[in-house]
Amino acid sequence: MLQNEVKKLTGLTRKAIEYYEEKLLINPIRKDNNYREYSMEDVKTLKKISVYRKLGCSLDEIKEIINDKGKLASIIRNREIKNDLEIEKVEILKNLMNDEFDFKKLELIENKETLYFKLTRIFPGYVGQLFFISYKPFLNEILKDEDKQYYHELIDFLDNFPTIDLSDYEKELIDNISKSISIFDIEKISDEKINAIMDYDKWINNNEENISNYIKFKESEEYLNNPVIIILEKVKKHMEDNKYYEIVIPLIRKISKSYDEYYKQMLKANKKLMENM
């Protein structure tokens, strides 16, 4: 069967299906016209992946489970239970060991997911990191019913967004960076950025020297030849060329009230920065 039918049967996005193929979790046949031909076994595997992702399993854990269902027991034992939502997920994982499953419970869990978890599950790996890492502090909200239309518009746009031409090395670098940076580090950087935007005058007065040094550093060979910077510039140009910012930012503003507030403040701060320059 073709990819469109697989999307309907699994509920996965095109980019998620292709990502799991890239990670060798499925192995569709490439036809002469370069279309992929998926088997029912591929569909079954993708459905399993979708369920395990919704339950918070990492890609490495999913690989272990698919290759050996007995690994599920050790994953359950090692999972840290931090809150009620995690407890609910573990209960469903235990049921899966006995081939029991409750779709209604899973749906309730989905409704409690933060926007960030939901979106990076739907767009796994380096794809989700490229799309959403900069919005993370503003996606810790739960999707509201009145915002679902904009949420689905966002998913449709991103799933049909032209694939960014990255080498295997660049993809692996992004994946490794996202794994090596802790949630604490991301939140710390984000908090500093938000505080700067929300109280621009105070921040600019306290950081004049740092800003000057940073502007000089951005012109240095060290900065310009950094592989991460090269990737980021490549991604930025690709997104600009394909109207990513024109479409995605307004939709993120609609589904995240905190980002909308931040964006308005950012416009004011940018205006002041240009005036100062």
Express each pLDDT in 20-69 by its tens digit.
999 999 999 988 888 899 999 999 999 999 999 998 888 888 998 888 87
| pTM listed for this prediction | 0.71
Residue 129 in domain = yes
Residue 158 in domain = yes
How far, in Å, CA of 61 to CA of 71, rounded? 8
- pLDDT of res. 221: 83
- pLDDT of res. 155: 96
Q: Among candidates 48, 88, 87, 42, which has minimal Cα distance to 64?
A: 48
Residue 200 in domain = yes
Q: Among candidates 112, 104, 125, 116, which has minimal Cα distance to 49?
A: 125
How far, in Å, CA of 156 to CA of 24, rounded? 25
Q: Which domain holds residue 213?
A: 114-277
Residue 13 in domain = no
Residue 166 in domain = yes
Residue 252 in domain = yes
Give the residues of the chain that fall short of pLDDT 70.
77-84, 178-192, 195, 198, 200, 203, 211, 214, 273, 275-277
- pLDDT of res. 156: 96
Q: How many domains does the chain have?
A: 1
Residue 87 in domain = no
- pLDDT of res. 185: 55
How far, in Å, CA of 163 to CA of 127, rounded? 9
- pLDDT of res. 243: 94
Residue 120 in domain = yes
Measured at the CA of 39, the angle between CA 36 and CA 42, to 5 degrees, comes to 95
- pLDDT of res. 182: 52
